[in-house]
A = this chain, B = another copy of it.
Amino acid sequence: MAKRKVKKVSEDALSEEISSVELNEKDARTAGAIHNLSQSVVKAVSRLRDPQIEIPSRALSNILYNERKRILEMGKKSTSRSLFNLSQAKSFMQTLLLSSAVNQLLRQGKTTSIRGLYYTTKHKIPGSNEQTFNDQSESDPILEDLEVVLQSLREELHLFAEKRGEMAGELVLVDRGDEIDCSRMGSGGYGIPSIVEPDVIQFKKCKAKFVLHVEKGTVWQRFNEDRFWEKHHCILTHGGGQPPRGVRRLLYRLHNELKLPIFCLLDNDPWGYYIYSVIKQGSINLAFESKRMAIPNAKFLGLRSYDFQRCGLSSSVQIELNDKDRKRAKQIAEYPWFAHKKAWQKEIDLMLKNGFKLEVEALVSKDISYVTDVYTPQRIAARDWLD
């Protein structure tokens, strides 16, 4: 590959040009990582070497289950992305472009959405008809690369996702300086933000003894209306289906900082099992974030496959399993953290034998408050859950 003569660049050029707000410790660390990344490029250029970036591989083959820590982790494989390689030049440029935009966000003390980041960095490259990014599907994976390169959560890069999920219960927290009493939030609850890092949200006072995490907002409303959190001294959360990063990170912090057990009440279907699996061990896509999101000790309270019999439910609430459900259930049964657990094998086997799935909402066919008055308190009192 041809080496070109380049003008020598001052190694401190980048850090000089930015007028910045004062950075807190966390942001200073992230900015430092970006600085190191850019310095490595500047150094290579001044030594007339090929500038390149080492990127830990996010391929499935590099995702490992750490049995000791009981979480998904990335292995040690990485690929390098080089400026003077025709197939890598564009993604090299994109990586630096995004890191520069993130650096600016940090210096401004502002946050944006990943769509906002895309719009910020998208432009026509002068003297060509090429766009830096054609659409957001091009910038999103580069951003994920950047997260692993910088060893930073997306939230630490000042980027948020569409938020979902709510909280109510015996917890007082401080969110950007505002004190929020989650036991005084009416029917609406506290909307869990996308960024819940300790510099944004601090826990102030907690009387709760555990966290009950339910799958859906509608179920959460039943629990909130019945003031379950007051009767049982807990915190109620939901994630609107698969919980977004903000909710997972908040559950992690509640579990690790406040030492609260996390109980999950999810549908009795492969999707419910999968949600639990992600809360517990992390997801394959975001394996590098497991260490700050996964909660290996989270408990699966239900619904269980034998609840149909145990609770005496009517056959009219059964939803037939389809082929996709059956295939998915078998895959989940083979996950390393379920494969050696008899109780989980029995649970998934029984669902397949039943031939149907059950939603938490199906419990209203017993009584509107059966789930809050009977089902959940009984399971917790009997320590009857899967692990």
Contact = CB atoms under 8 A, between A and B. Distances in A.
Contact of A225 (B111, B185, B364): B111
Interface stretch (A14-22, A30-38, A45-53, A216-224): A216-224
A369 to B, nearest CB: 7
A349 interface: no
A61 interface: no
Contacts of A317: 119, 122
Interface string A304-320: 00000000001111000
28 contacts: A110-B369, A112-B364, A112-B368, A115-B218, A116-B218, A116-B364, A116-B368, A119-B361, A119-B362, A122-B317, A122-B365, A123-B316, A123-B365, A132-B316, A162-B218, A163-B217, A163-B221, A175-B186, A176-B187, A177-B186, A178-B186, A179-B184, A180-B184, A180-B185, A186-B201, A188-B192, A189-B191, A194-B221
B368 A131 contact: no
B175 A187 contact: yes
Contacts of A276: none
A191 B178 contact: no
A362 B112 CA distance: 12
A235 interface: no
A162 to B, nearest CB: 5
Contacts of A115: 218, 359, 361
A191 B190 CA distance: 6
Interface in A166-198: 166, 174-180, 184-195
A200 interface: yes
Contacts of A105: 368
Contacts of A110: 225, 368-369
Nearest to A219: B113
B187 A368 contact: no
A203 B1 CA distance: 70
Q: Which of A110, A221, A359 has the most CB of B within 10 A?
A: A221
B314 A120 contact: no
Q: Which of A240, A368, A369 has the most CB of B within 10 A?
A: A368
Given A112-B364, A316-B123, A180 B175 contact: no
Nearest to A184: B178
Contacts of A176: 186-187
A95 to B, nearest CB: 19
